[in-house]
């Protein structure tokens, strides 16, 4: 066999990468090394492999594009914008006849995530498409805030994780992306218009495959993305005016931005000549308000809406234990030890892996509300967990890794 000289570019290269069959085109990789995960649609062949205790996504792509996407994903990792984690680029591949093979980009598989087509293959609520669109709008605002122009926005280039009753969107393909100091309105509008066009086409494809109702107005869903994006962008950037005798409006505006999931570190206030009108303008906006607060209080690293739900339960615990005057950090420590951790640990280990712990806790809280309404009493948490484990969780899909596909069908099309 001709000598093969592989070049691995990675921040933390794993020697185990050398054990993979780089002399074989990805589409011919043997089933025994593949992880069976759901696939989407893509221009490139992508395979999932189990290596060193984790699952990696390997995408066959041109060398120049592979390096460009790798660097972009590394830059996105530094900004905390939801995106897949890059592992490295491998070049210098040749087959057994000495013929050149494409370079590959390697990223970590995002646990508990699913491509949109897999979500629609499950029995989901009728407004699933709308919830995915909301998640994508938030992701696009976060990307545009840091100056990232996506260039190929679509559901196919996004992964989704459950975030309480909603979804969180993660960028999985930065192949056409560009990072600028600041985006122009034209760049932002082009990204949004392209997203609308692609999403309408993808939803029409789902209709043709009878995965969503043929009466669903997919054009309206595409339009909703633009509306939701513009609503968020305006809330973060538009000036707001109010009378000088209404100073409480400043706190109200900041609370509104917090409710959208954004922190405001700076705010600029100016008055008119006679001082009767005040104009406020957010200066530094950061996403993940509730997630950061929960992390600070408990160390739990969760999605934004999951954090919002857990913080609400923490406040409920604070009230029923009559500790409103105690430092919240001490209350949070006790809530974690007395409520959150025992609840998660009460779920059998074999079933616990189906969902992220925060999502599991959120669904148990929902089940508690359901049982309490049904039985007209405050159902104790042990009863709630027992009922949830017996009647709900066994029917939930395993979202750590939705298995069941044949390995030869396990090419994710991102």
Angle at alpha carbon of residue 393, lines to 390 and 397, rounded to 5°? 145
Provide the 3-class DSSP secondary structure of residue 55. Answer: strand
> What would the pLDDT profile of 157-187 be if each residue is shown by its tens digit?
999 988 877 888 999 999 999 999 999 999 9
**Which one is the CATH code of 114-236: 3.40.30.10, 3.90.600.10, 1.10.510.10, 1.10.10.10?**
1.10.510.10
Q: Which residues contact 367 (CB under 8 A, 6 or more apart)?
A: 384, 387, 388, 392
Residue 2 has pLDDT above 60, yes or no: no
- pTM score of the predicted model: 0.74
Domain 7-109: homologous superfamily in CATH: Phosphorylase Kinase; domain 1 (3.30.200.20)
Q: Where in the chain is the domain with CATH 1.10.510.10?
A: 114-236
Residues pairing with 405 in the sheet: none
> DSSP string covering 100-160, please?
B--EEEEEE--TTEE-HHHHHTS---TTHHHHHHHHHHHHHHHHHHTTEE-SS--STTEEE
Residue ranges, comma separated, of all CATH 3.30.200.20 domains in the chain are 7-109
Residue where the block lists tokens 């669903």: 216
Tens digits of residue pLDDT in 287-344: 788 888 898 899 998 888 899 899 989 998 998 898 988 999 999 999 999 999 999 9
Distance of CA 319 to CAs 163, 315, 368, Å? 25, 6, 18
Q: Rounded to an integer, what distance in angstroms lies between the CA atom of residue 255 and that of residue 269?
A: 16
Instruction: Tell me the per-residue pLDDT of 69-114, one tens digit each, with 9 for 90 and over.
Output: 999 999 999 888 899 999 999 999 999 888 999 999 999 988 888 8
Q: Please write the tens of the pLDDT for every residue from 223-277.
A: 999 999 999 898 888 777 777 777 777 778 778 887 777 777 667 777 776 766 7
Per DSSP, 16 falls in state: G
């Amino acid at each position: 066999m001709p000598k093969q000289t592989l070049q691995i570019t990675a921040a933390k290269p794993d020697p185990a990468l050398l054990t993979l069959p780089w002399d074989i085109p990805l589409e011919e990789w043997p089933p025994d090394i593949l992880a069976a995960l759901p696939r989407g649609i893509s221009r490139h062949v992508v395979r999932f492999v189990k290596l060193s205790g984790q699952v990696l996504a390997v995408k066959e792509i041109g060398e120049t594009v592979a390096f460009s996407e790798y660097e972009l994903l590394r830059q996105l990792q530094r900004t905390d914008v939801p995106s897949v984690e890059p592992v490295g680029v491998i070049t210098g591949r040749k087959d057994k006849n000495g013929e050149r093979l494409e370079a590959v980009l390697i990223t970590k598989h995002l646990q508990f995530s699913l491509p949109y087509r897999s979500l629609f293959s499950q029995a989901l609520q009728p407004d699933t498409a709308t919830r995915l669109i909301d998640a994508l709008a938030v992701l696009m605002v976060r990307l545009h805030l840091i100056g990232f122009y996506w260039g190929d926005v679509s559901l196919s280039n996004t992964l989704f994780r459950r975030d309480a009753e909603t979804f969180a969107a993660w960028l999985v393909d930065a192949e056409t992306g560009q990072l600028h100091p600041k985006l122009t309105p034209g760049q932002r509008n082009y990204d949004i218009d392209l997203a609308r066009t692609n999403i309408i086409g993808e939803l029409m494809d789902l209709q043709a495959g009878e995965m969503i109702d043929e009466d669903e107005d997919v054009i309206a869903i595409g339009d909703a993305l633009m509306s939701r994006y513009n609503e968020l962008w305006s809330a973060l950037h538009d000036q707001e005016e109010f009378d000088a005798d209404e100073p409480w409006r400043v706190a109200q505006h900041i609370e509104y931005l917090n409710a959208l999931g954004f922190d405001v570190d700076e705010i600029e206030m100016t008055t008119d000549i006679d001082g009767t009108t005040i104009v406020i303008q957010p200066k530094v906006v950061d996403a993940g308000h509730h997630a950061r607060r929960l992390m600070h209080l408990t160390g739990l690293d969760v999605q934004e809406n999951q954090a919002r739900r857990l913080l609400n339960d923490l406040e409920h615990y604070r009230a029923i234990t009559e500790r409103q005057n105690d430092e919240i950090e001490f209350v949070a420590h006790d809530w974690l030890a007395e409520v959150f951790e025992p609840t998660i640990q009460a779920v059998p280990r074999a079933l616990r892996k189906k969902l992220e712990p925060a999502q599991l806790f959120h669904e148990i809280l929902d089940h508690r509300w359901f049982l309490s309404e049904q039985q007209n009493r405050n159902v104790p948490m042990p009863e709630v967990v027992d009922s949830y484990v017996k009647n709900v969780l066994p029917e939930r899909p395993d979202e750590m890794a939705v298995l069941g596909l044949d390995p030869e069908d396990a090419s994710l099309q991102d």
